[in-house]
Amino acid sequence: MPTLANINFPTDSALIELYELHLTELGYLLYRHHNLMTMDEFSWRDQIELEPRIVAHLDALELGDMLAFRCSERLIASSDEDELLGAAYSLATILNDDQRCRVALSALSEADDELLPVFVMALGHASHPSITSTLVQFLSHQRPAVSSASAQIIAFRQDADPKAIWPCLHNVAPYVRDNALFVYAAMGATEIIPATEQLLFDSGKAISDDNLYAMLKLGSPRAIELARSRCAKAESTTAELLMLLAMQGALSDLNLIYNAAGFPEMAIPALQALGVLGNAQVIPALIKVLQQDDDALKVAVADALQLITGAGLKEQVEVPEEMLEELTADAITSGETTEKTPSPRMVEVTRNSTAYQQWHHRWQQQGSRFEINTRWRNGQPFSASGCIAELAGPNRTLSTRLRAHQELLLTGNRAPFHPEWMVSRQVKVISQLQGV
């Protein structure tokens, strides 16, 4: 009969090897989850299948107690991104150990600039409750790169106290102020608009694009007016400016955005912005563009028409895959692409219809129902519930969901959310939003 005396327990060296494997696999899965969430060809909801595996590795590391902790301490200094990501995430997620979280935050403050994106991912998803309060202090870090990384993490986590960030908005260092404004914009903290408008617009200094974008995300009236003046001139118009202006939903901006399509390299961004604006008066003009031979323009028009009308007109086309990429597991998880190989292969895709006659006929049939004083989205009057439906759609791309979340913030709905959170967490928040 076996007894404790004759059981061979694993040695510390064997356990260390096991915990290091757990940490590396944990980092691998986090990278895989992140990269698959960003790829249009995969449904974001399907990535929930990876999350129990992530939790299982965390459970094993928590059971490993101090020995696993020492492994994490060693690997958080690693230059291997899988090891570093797994170590930082585990240290900042095991909730019953403040010491581990302090190690992860200290490592962030000392990390080389090129490794900071790993910490952004790790601490963005990590769940220790003391992370954000420390990161708010790091907004004033003497290293601008650490301040920027901290802002990105806080914006992703969506759990900061807006009042705690306020002193940073008045810091003497411009990068600290800029990063604080970035966080406020991500949170939809509209209460800062009056004071921040005074700070930016009455200073007599030029307003940077990034600060203007942040203020537009908050819906600042003075930022909107500045955006309109910039979009009236080719040299000051940008794609992001057009999109953020369209998100404000002022139907009167139709001609301004439409005219920007004539600026160099602004045709497609302007067409995309017209779709987001949702002014049905532009539909006949958009349909006429489908008579042109430029396929890229026609695709942008078709997408804009679909976003406004929700008509669901589709076509199947064969497009050349000029550069074929092998979609390997390593490429997905590491974020690296494999070597590109020229290929003449044709690939069949389904997309929004670019057929002029099809859209012309549909508009003649149904155009009368689209009232000109209404902002339209997917065939319905624009609403917060429509934005939530876009967030919930299993086949919606990340870019669509990021835009829908920004528009939801502009409606005044500040429920903490990010379209790249763990799927289980997103689904819970979306269910709550749908219930409201």
Q: Which residues, other chains included, contact 173 with Cβ-Cβ below 8 Å and sequence gap of 6+?
A: 140, 144
How many Cβ atoms from other residues are within 10 Å of residue 76's Cβ? 26
Tell me the average pLDDT across 237-250.
Answer: 98
Q: What is the pLDDT of residue 343?
A: 58
**Residue the block writes with tokens 């990429």:** 325
Q: What is the pLDDT of residue 8?
A: 53
323 against 89, higher pLDDT:
89
Calculate the average pLDDT of the chain: 92
Tell me the average pLDDT across 24-46.
Answer: 96
Residue 207 DSSP label: P
318 against 186, higher pLDDT:
186
Please choose, from the candidates 420, 429, 394, the residue with its C-alpha nearest in 3D space to the C-alpha of residue 33: 420
Q: What is the pLDDT of residue 111?
A: 97
Q: Which residues, other chains included, contact 322 with Cβ-Cβ below 8 Å and sequence gap of 6+?
A: 342, 343
Q: Is the pLDDT of residue 323 over 50?
A: no
Tens digit of each residue's pLDDT (9 = 90 or more) over 334-361: 444 445 555 568 888 889 999 999 999 9
Contact 113, 103 (CB under 8 A): no
Distance CA 290, CA 276 (A): 19
Give the predicted TM-score (pTM) of the model: 0.90
Residue ranges per structural domain of the chain: 7-128, 382-436
Q: pLDDT band for position 3 (50/70/90)? A: low
Length of the chain: 436
Give pairs for 260-265: CB < 8 Å, separation 24+: 260/231, 263/234, 263/237, 264/234
Please choose, from the candidates 381, 397, 378, the residue with its C-alpha nearest in 3D space to the C-alpha of residue 306: 378
Q: pLDDT band for position 322 (50/70/90)? A: low
Among 139-143, 144-148, 303-307, 345-349, the least confident range: 345-349
